[in-house]
Amino acid sequence: MVDYLTEYKDLVRVVASIKHKEYPMVQLDDITQELWLWFVEHPNKVKEWYNLEDQKVSIKLFARALHNAASKYCQYEKARTSGYEISDIFYYKRDIVEELLPGVISGNLIEPENINDLNSGRAAKTPSEGNNLLAMQVDISSAYGRIKPEQQNILKQWYLSNRNSKDLAKELGTNEKTARMRVLRAIDAIIKKLGGPAPYGDRDYRDITTE
């Protein structure tokens, strides 16, 4: 049996500290406890990932799962203590950010045909519906202004290149794959400023030894 309390105490401490900085309203001890609970609820994943030959891959899997578990818990706790429903949270995806960034960067925001109340259920609407669209662009513009200048510059060049990886690669003096990855990292930085990606459903693996 894996002694995960000893094996992963440093990883749990680091992840819990990171999330506590992102969500200071949530107690560090509560986040830590939630992460240890993840190990209890996922014994099959713990066993399989612990026994992986490549320990770098193993640690990445554990770190990703713990970050997800902590984000999900902290978001629910923030919603509970702030008096709103978790369903009110809107999670920005890359395709939405990419679609709206050209207008944000140029200052030519996309005008919706029908203007609705800014507070009327943004999470349930598509980007093209009413003032929901304007609110999203305001959110993205604010987040864009808070990422690193070099990341802002990458996105400016990306759109000046008409979102063409080949042209951007020439401008940056690198290959297309690297150029595209820099764009994605910059977009992910914006998404992080907007609250991060949606936590994914995390179930344990089936225990095939009992089947």
Dihedral sign for Cα atoms in the order 98, 104, 105, 110: positive
At 94, the amino acid letter reads: R
Dihedral sign for Cα atoms in the order 54, 55, 58, 64: negative
- Long-range contacts: 31-39, Cβ < 8 Å, 24+? 31/70, 31/73, 31/74, 34/69, 34/70, 34/73, 35/66, 35/69, 35/70, 36/5, 36/12, 38/65, 38/66, 38/69, 38/202, 39/4, 39/8
- Mean residue pLDDT of the chain comes to 84
Interacting residues of 7 by C-beta distance below 8 A, sequence separation 6+: 50
Q: If you average pLDDT over residues 100-121, what whole number do you get?
A: 64
pLDDT digits (tens, 9 = 90+) for 25-34: 999 999 999 9
Going by CATH, does the domain composed of 94-193 fall within 1.20.120?
no
pLDDT digits (tens, 9 = 90+) for 118-177: 334 444 444 444 447 888 899 999 999 999 999 999 999 988 888 888 988 998 899 999
pTM check: above 0.85:
no
d(C-alpha 54, C-alpha 10), whole Å: 19
What pLDDT was estimated at residue 161? 81
What pLDDT was estimated at residue 39? 95
Distances (CA, A) of 90 to 98, 122, 139, 164, 196: 16, 7, 11, 29, 10
Nearest to residue 200, comparing CAs of 80, 92, 76, 65? 65
- Angle of helix 94-106 relative to helix 149-160, nearest 10 degrees, comes to 90
Which part of the chain has CATH 1.10.10? 94-193
- Give percent of the chain above pLDDT 70: 84
What pLDDT was estimated at residue 208? 54
What pLDDT was estimated at residue 19? 94
Q: If you average pLDDT over residues 99-115, what whole number do you get?
A: 74
What pLDDT was estimated at residue 123? 43
Most confident range, picked from 50-64, 91-105, 109-123: 50-64
Phi first, then psi, for residue 209 (nearest 5°) are -75, -20
**159 vs 111, more confident:** 159
What pLDDT was estimated at residue 2? 65
Distances (CA, A) of 76 to 69, 80, 86: 11, 6, 6
Cα three-residue angle 11-17-20, rounded to 5 degrees:
140
- Residue 208: DSSP 8-state: G
Residue 85 has pLDDT above 70, yes or no: no
